[in-house]
Structure formats: structure tokens, C-alpha cells
Amino acid sequence: MKQDRLIRAFRKGEEWAFRRVYEQFFDPLCLYAVKYLKDGSEAQDVVQDVFAALWLLHDNFDNCHTIRSFLYISVRNRSINLLRRQARTIEKISQMQQKHTPAEEAEMVIEVEVERQLLAAVQNLPSECRRVLMLSIEGRSYQEIGEMLHITTNTVKNHRVRAVKKLREMFRYSRSESELTNRLSAKTEY
């Protein structure tokens, strides 16, 4: 009789009934998931996801046996799917590592760093120069930029020239600063 009352309440979506099912099955399901995943926190995450799915489907269960079957089958399937995703990720990482030599990896890091520095430098430009330069980088013509910003094409050219000049100065300064640092550190090593 208690089981029937629990199932009726569960099907109606009553929280106390869901809590009772959760308390009864959570720990055993975690132990079951750990057998697949070998990681307690991943097992708990899988079990939590399964209970969330159970809550959404609460009105589909006629008895405790179907709830129990759903929980164990779902935990098994989600654990296996997680292991498959992890295996694919590991495979992708190893493929990526095989595709790039250390020199290529270093080159990619340098490219990203230069791009980051360039974007930071662009952000330090005066707003008019920055807008014109960004639109120019997007491939817009001087005329299009002028129409968009309601300025003459001559003004567009002047802003772009100023932007490029300021960027050169910024990078020349940072390069000469790093050369000076390298020279100083080389002198102190002796």
C-alpha cells in the first residue's frame, strides 16, 4: 500500500515522493557508476543527470520496478557515453600532438601572442583611429568607411595613417625595450 501511494505521488510530481526515491537510490547508483567511471565525482555527476531526467519523466512510471530499471539503465548508458566522449577527446588530443612538431607549436603560440598584443595596442588607439582601422581590417573601402562614419574619405585616410603610425611606434618602443632588457640581462650574466 505504501508503494502505491509513493508511485501515485511520484507520478503527480510531488517533491516528497521524488526525494524518497532519490534518497533510496542515490548512493547505490553512485557505486554502480564508479564501477564504470573509476571516479567518484564523475559518477555523482552522472547520477545527478539521471535524476534530473527522471524528474522530467515522472509521470511515465507505473511502479518502483520501472523507476529502478530506468535509473540503473540510464546510469550505465550515460557512464558508457561519457567514457566514449573522453576516449574521443584523448584521441583528438593525441592526433593534434602528432600533427604539429614542437617548432610548429611554438610558432602557433607566437602567432597568438602577437595577435593578442596587436589587439591590445589597437584598443589603446584614439577612438576615431580605432574605428577606421577596424573597419579597414574588415575589408571596407575608404568610401564605405566615410559613409558609415559620416566623414570624408580624406579624413578616413588620415585616421588610418595615424593609426598605423601609432601602432608602429608602440611596437618599435616595445621591441627596443625588449632588446634593451636582453642586453642588460646579457651584461649581468658575466
Q: What are 102-135's pLDDT values in tens digits? A: 777 677 677 777 777 888 888 889 999 988 988 8
The reported pTM is 0.50
The per-residue pLDDT for 95 is 67
Summarised one tens digit per residue, pLDDT across range 146-179 is: 998 999 999 999 999 999 998 888 877 655 555 5
Does the pLDDT of residue 139 top 50, yes or no? Answer: yes
Cα separation of 59 and 49, whole Å? Answer: 18
The per-residue pLDDT for 189 is 43
What's the grid cell of residue 75? 546510469
For residues 121 and 171, is the Cβ–Cβ distance under 8 A? yes
> What is the percent of the chain with per-residue pLDDT over 70, rounded to a whole number?
84
For residues 35 and 83, is the Cβ–Cβ distance under 8 A? no
Summarised one tens digit per residue, pLDDT across range 38-47 is: 999 999 999 9
Distant-in-sequence, close-in-space partners of 34: CB < 8 Å, separation ≥ 6: 40, 43
Cα separation of 75 and 147, whole Å? Answer: 60
2-98 CATH pick, 3.40.50.720, 3.40.50.10860, 3.40.47.10, 1.10.1740.10: 1.10.1740.10
C-alpha closest to that of 59 among 95, 7, 108 = 7
The per-residue pLDDT for 86 is 87
**Fold for the domain defined by 101-189:** Arc Repressor Mutant, subunit A (1.10.10)
Fold match flag (2-98 vs 101-189): no
Cα separation of 108 and 160, whole Å? Answer: 28
Question: How do the domains of the chain map onto residue ranges?
Answer: 2-98, 101-189
